Amino acid sequence: MDKRELIKSAFKAKEKAYVPYSNFHVGAAVLMEDGSIYTGCNIESASYSPTNCAERTAIFKAVSEGKRKIKAIAIVGDSGYTYPCGVCRQVIREFGLDAIVIIAKSEDEYKEYTLEELLPYSFGPEDLNNAKK
> Which residues are part of the catalytic machinery?
55
* 21 marked as binding residue: no
3-state secondary structure of 104: strand
Distances (CA, A) of 40 to 35, 43, 121, 122, 126: 17, 9, 27, 24, 27
| Closest CB to ligand THU among residues 44, 107 | 44
**C-beta of 91: minimal distance to ligand THU in Å?**
11
Closer to ligand THU by CB, 50 or 131: give it.
50
Burial 99-110 (b: 16+ CB within 10 A, else e): bbbbbbeebeeb
The answer to the question of whether 17 is labelled as a binding residue is no
Query: Is 38 marked as a binding-site residue?
Result: no
Between strands 37-41 and 100-104, the pairing is unpaired
Nearest CA to 52 out of 84, 10, 94, 97 is that of 84
Using CB under 6 A, list all residues that contact ligand THU: 19, 22, 24, 26, 42, 44, 51, 53-55, 82, 84-85, 88
Q: Which is nearer to ligand THU, 20 or 66 (CB)?
A: 20
Minimum Å distance from CB 47 to ligand THU? 13
Minimum separation from the CB atom of position 120 to ligand THU (A): 18
Question: Known binder of ligand: residue 48?
Answer: yes
Q: Give dist(CA 123, CA 75) in Å, integer.
A: 23
HSE-up of residue 70 (Cα within 13 Å, Cβ side): 33
Binding residues for substrate, as ranges, are: 42-48
Binding residues for Zn(2+), as ranges, are: 53, 85, 88
